[in-house]
A and B are shown apart, each in its own frame.
Chain A
Amino acid sequence: MLTKSSFLYFLTLLLFKQRDKHIGTISISIVIIFLLSSILFISSSIQGSIKIALESQPDFSLSRVEAGRVVDTPVEWIDKISDIDGIVDISPRVYGRYFYRPKEESFLVVGVDFFDEQNQKELKNLIDGIDLKDFFSRDSMLVGEGVKEFLAEHFYSGDFSFKTPTGKFKKVRIYDTIPHQSNLISNDMVVMPIDLAREIFGMSEDLSTDITFNVPNDSEWDTILTKLHLLFYDLRVVEKREIAKAYSSLYNYKGGLFLILYLITIVTFMLILYQRYSMVYSSEKREIGILRATGWSIGEIVKLKFYETLIVVVVSFVLGTVLAYIYVFVWGAPLLKEIFLGGANLKNQVEFAPTINMGLLSSIFLFYAVPLFGSILIPVWRIAITSPKEAML
């Protein structure tokens, strides 16, 4: 068809013969689409990771507050909480940041009851690959990727000794790492049996850091909260949906900053293109004038330039998104990852899971294609409607 249709033949001929003109546009377009795609791929992947990481988390966590300060929560509260209808899977948790003083780094130690039904659900991904008999044969822990790397750098490859409040050291075996997909949250986390965590933090058996529970009926959440506040005056409740919002806001904020930078870049680029096609690029104007003078109508000129731009847009879009895919999902987005995930205590080992959908690709295409078409076709149309005599000057 391409060889038969003279219009398509002429179109490809113009693209090839005027490739120098298009290479500049395509190159800049690829860079812009690459940046936009990378930002959106990272944002989308982070949102996906947050969703996965929070899926297994309990709906609520509750802790005691004294004079506005969060303190250890009595385990006996569990009995009172379980009296409230609608609450299920109640479980105590022990956690806290453990500071490794020589390097002034810290990681989050989380103690859980591995045999508790609720915890088994939450830790399904972790427990699945574990030989529990072997795990409990010695004091053992599971560590996030960041913790593992940090400890290895300091020659703790098989085990690590925690300093307890009594000044003694507690040696704990590094049993395994926490799976990659939850790295966004678990990167600097250490998971161990609850009694071991209590020993490390010097907590008695009747205390926990907080108590977690689920409320399967979403519409009951506010009622349950009211009942809890009536039951305990010294209470602080954190909802899972609040945590999800906090994480989303954090990464949306960073993505938003990049989108503003993208908008500034694209507006500048489009203005340059608009200027170029409006008047500065006189050979383009002359070419339109010549075609008009030899019998091309305004519609035919716009059609030619539309297809020319479409090819430029499609080539740039495909190359830009493919490069962004490789950069984000194969190479792990060096530089951009540090900007998005920077500020974490330990170097984050997050691997972005590919989460591309048609909506995302369409958004990228529209974000780029519409302004590009506008910035080229509007001046082309304006030249085409002027007298061919003037355009040829």
Chain B
Amino acid sequence: MIEIDNLNKVYNDGTPQAFNALKSINLSIDDGEAIILNGVSGSGKSTLLSIIAALDKPTSGKVVVDGELISKLPDLHASAYRAKSIGFIFQHFNLIESLSVEENIYAPIVHIGLDIERIRDMAKRVMVEASIEHKADQSIRDLSGGEKQRCAIARALVRDPKLIICDEPTANLDRANSMKFIDILSRLHSRGKSIIVATHDPLFKSLPFPSRVIEMEDGVIVEG
């Protein structure tokens, strides 16, 4: 369960360039719920996702996930929270170009103290789930946009997180690959994962699984 209470985010706070990206956001997300954050660029969707994923800190307000106040976590705990509870799928995939698909997938878990065989097994499992196992040894540079997306999905799932966060996941994909992505999301939803997607792709208006659409505008929730 995610509770967001009176959340504000001001970039360049205290300067003439101050920009209010989020204004008094209040939101509650149940376990297993799928949320579609809709809105134009600059409406505050990505900022809200970053704060929920503890990639950024709010200027004021609270984000509580499963009873834990994550908006004020020190780095060590915030990192542990990201590693265990969050699977983040970025718009530009954010993969390490010099590594292969498999290496990118297990990169987030090599520091947790498991032996390499165990970690490779975990990577193999999610590669199958994201239908990218046939490209395991391929360099990221040689992948298509859709393959990179599936690699990013597999990496997000490698620690079996409760919450999947996607920031404009289909912005760089064609329709066929976008549909495949939605299909994967559907399977994850059916397994009880909470999903938050920030997008302005109309494909997300008719998903094959129940979801709540939240409209954002100028840092404010206007509907949902």
B190 at the interface (CB under 8 A from A): no
Which residues of A219-274 have CB atoms within 8 Å of chain B's CB atoms?
none
Given A6-B106, A6-B114, A10-B107, are A293 and B55 neighbors across the interface (CB < 8 Å)?
yes
A90: min CB distance to chain B, Å: 76
Cα distance A18–B97 in the bound complex, in angstroms: 10
B107:A291 contact, CB within 8 angstroms: yes
Cα distance A391–B50 in the bound complex, in angstroms: 13
Given A4-B115, A293-B88, are A287 and B75 neighbors across the interface (CB < 8 Å)?
no
Cα distance A6–B83 in the bound complex, in angstroms: 16
Cα distance A61–B115 in the bound complex, in angstroms: 74
Which residues of A356-393 have CB atoms within 8 Å of chain B's CB atoms?
385, 387-389, 392
Q: Which of B55, B114, B155 contacts A387 (CB 8 A)?
A: B55
For chain A, the count of residues having a C-beta within 8 Å of the partner chain is 32
Which residues of A290-346 have CB atoms within 8 Å of chain B's CB atoms?
290-300, 304
A297:B79 contact, CB within 8 angstroms: yes
B111:A296 contact, CB within 8 angstroms: yes
B98:A296 contact, CB within 8 angstroms: no
B96 at the interface (CB under 8 A from A): yes
Question: Count the A-B residue pairs with Cβ separation under 8 angstroms: how many?
Answer: 91
B155:A294 contact, CB within 8 angstroms: yes
B95 at the interface (CB under 8 A from A): yes
For chain B, the count of residues having a C-beta within 8 Å of the partner chain is 36
A17:B107 contact, CB within 8 angstroms: no
B181 at the interface (CB under 8 A from A): no
Closest to B167 in A: A389
A100 at the interface (CB under 8 A from B): no
Cα distance A132–B119 in the bound complex, in angstroms: 80
The interface of chain B, by Cβ under 8 A from chain A, is 50, 53, 55-56, 75-76, 79-80, 82-84, 86, 88, 90, 94-99, 103, 106-111, 113-119, 155, 159
Give 30 pairs: A residue, B residue, CB < 8 Å, sorted on A. A5-B116, A6-B106, A6-B109, A6-B113, A7-B113, A9-B110, A9-B116, A10-B106, A10-B110, A13-B99, A14-B99, A283-B97, A289-B94, A290-B96, A290-B107, A292-B79, A293-B53, A293-B90, A293-B94, A294-B82, A294-B108, A295-B79, A296-B111, A297-B76, A298-B75, A298-B76, A387-B55, A389-B50, A389-B56, A392-B90
Contacts beyond the supplied A290-B107, A295-B159: 9 A-B pairs with Cβ under 8 Å: A5-B116, A6-B114, A9-B110, A10-B110, A13-B103, A14-B98, A293-B90, A297-B76, A389-B55
The interface of chain A, by Cβ under 8 A from chain B, is 3-7, 9-10, 13-14, 17-18, 283, 286-287, 289-300, 304, 385, 387-389, 392
